[in-house]
Amino acid sequence: MTVSKEVIETILDRILLAPVKLYALMVSQRPNHTLIEVELDHLGHPYGSVSLLECEQVSRKLNEELERISPDLNYTLKVSSAGAERKLVIPEDLDRFRGIPVRLVYKLEGSNDKEGIFKILDRKEDRIFLEPFSKRKTKGSKKKEVILELKDILKGNLYVSI
């Protein structure tokens, strides 16, 4: 017996309570086994991190629903947070994670892809205003602002500095 990704999404829509929402869902069907991987996002947390308790609650409720609708299903369920260095959904996350360091891969006209770590200062329409990020504190020196066009950002993820 199998269960579709759409059925699992419908169940998650019912059991997830704001500010926790679905970030990603992967369902891998194998001949006699299904792997279900759920990644959660917390809209109220600065980095979107979901607690272990929240993951446990979603896992328990999803297990109960799967057992109810498909008692013969042989599956493994993994529920986790999307992670502190998650992939960014562009452009939405550029507004959401303003002020937080991000690693961006971008292109500039006539050059190869570039990569940098920046703090998001602002976004106005299709322009992103960034400040280069450094772990070292520099006294008195103002960092040069970088402005990128939204179309030039190839990918990005949150960056956690230690």
Q: How do the domains of the chain map onto residue ranges? A: 5-81, 92-158
Q: Print burial letters for 40-64: b (CB count within 10 Å at least 16), e (below 16).
A: bbbeeeebbbbeeebbebbbebbee
135 pLDDT tier (thresholds 50, 70, 90): confident
Of 6-10, 79-83, 136-140, the poorest mean pLDDT is in: 136-140
What is the distance in angstroms between the CA of the first residue and the CA of the last residue of the chain?
46
CA angle at 2 for the pair 64 and 76, rounded to the nearest 5°: 55
Structure tokens at 9: 């999404």
Q: Are 40 and 56 in contact (CB under 8 A)?
A: no
Element (H, E) at 10: helix 5-15
140 pLDDT tier (thresholds 50, 70, 90): low
pLDDT of residue 162: 64
E-only strand ranges, the chain: 20-30, 33-42, 75-81, 101-106, 114-124, 127-132, 146-149, 153-158
75 pLDDT tier (thresholds 50, 70, 90): very high
Mean pLDDT of the chain: 91
User: Sign of the CA dihedral 38, 42, 45, 47?
Assistant: positive
Give the right CATH number for 92-158 from 2.30.30, 3.30.450, 2.60.40, 1.10.1740: 2.30.30
- Of 69, 67, 70, 1, the residue nearest 30 (C-alpha): 1
pLDDT of residue 141: 60
pLDDT of residue 88: 93
Per residue in 45-64, pLDDT tens? 988 999 999 999 999 999 99
Q: Is the pLDDT of residue 137 over 70?
A: no
Q: Are 5-81 and 92-158 in the same CATH fold?
A: no
pLDDT of residue 2: 80
Domain 5-81 has CATH 3.30.70.1350: yes
